Chains A and B, each alone.
Chain A
């Protein structure tokens, strides 16, 4: 795989809602590239017929009954919110629709 580039870094920063200054871009790009390059040993392995392990312990069907449980007090939660109106969380205009 090609080494991670400035554009790659800008792209993932955008996906992750992070603004980077030029200085940060200059700093982070080689740092990230070094880590990805270190991971090249993994990349080079042929593990096509090795199944992935998403989870170290093989649990299945962990479920809970459909029963009401106490939630949290709305006031306690809203008190911690940056901006509230009418019992709801207030945010600046949302441009763009739900993906």
Chain B
């Protein structure tokens, strides 16, 4: 997929693409996830945060918040992490999971998907809620209102170790395309599965912004400024506006209200842009309006990495971005590594929906092209959680945090590694997926449905 990140989000609903590590696995002697002989009917999601007490023992644990623990134990209770360490007592009555030789990490967070709001991207009316092209609707659009926890995409994604994601809007009606949210993939309905909303207000600059504002980057910036100025004016003159004593605004009342926490600096503005000049322009705008800024895409981020670091602006990157398009002639697989070396906080994103599970492949490639291994893990766990404002409950294996955990057969970033067990808020997720049921039906040629 040649699309730049930002333009892929403009395309409706994201359809729009060293040394050998020592741990390359051989085929396991037994399949890691043995295929059941009879397909089970899909189970409805259980209530979140069961009280089960679980001890995962003998694993190599990456708490992310601290050093790696060899042969450690994690105890989970009431949906939270109770204890972690090398000398942790297993509480009486706990379900013990022997994870000797396994690797345990926090659940991964994919910093940009449309999981739960897009079932089938194209030509399947009513299944794709990620985008609105409606003119006159911009900032107020909130993905949470469309979130469907029963989507087939959730189980397919979480069996790859992704337990939370930032669900992004993808509209094309305005430079402001709406509000993103951090949701978990447990299958619980909103609001239980929603951990931050709005996690950010999303705006388009650069080529993508130009595409929705008549064809120029300059007009995109103008419309964004106009929106911010209108919001400030509206907030200072709300009463007058409501009695029709104030001039017209370019945005509707709903959109102005949605922008209020952004201009107050409470909700970050996530600007999608790639070209170095657009990234600098975004930072100037944020400085002028005293906004909290997150840069999304930033394929030329490395070219202005020192500026980004100086402004302390976090960046959401897709590591596998290197096609030279006019919006991103500087795109390189070394972008994540170079940003981190310059002191920039990053989080990784797949910018996928059905293939959000490729997040760890993105991370592995970022490592292969210079990103520090620990920084890569943080960029899909604690570091990402900090950027999106959910680090109080998520992102590391520490007592008191939500027990989002993955037991891996080996290096999580390696392609041949399996996510053997996935826990969200202390509850072990079923391995069942629609894909798995299809596999079971067609596993044996002799018993396949007749042709």
Is B one of A's binding partners? no
Binding site for A on B (CB under 8 A): none
Query: Which residues on A are within 8 Å of B, measured CB to CB?
Result: none
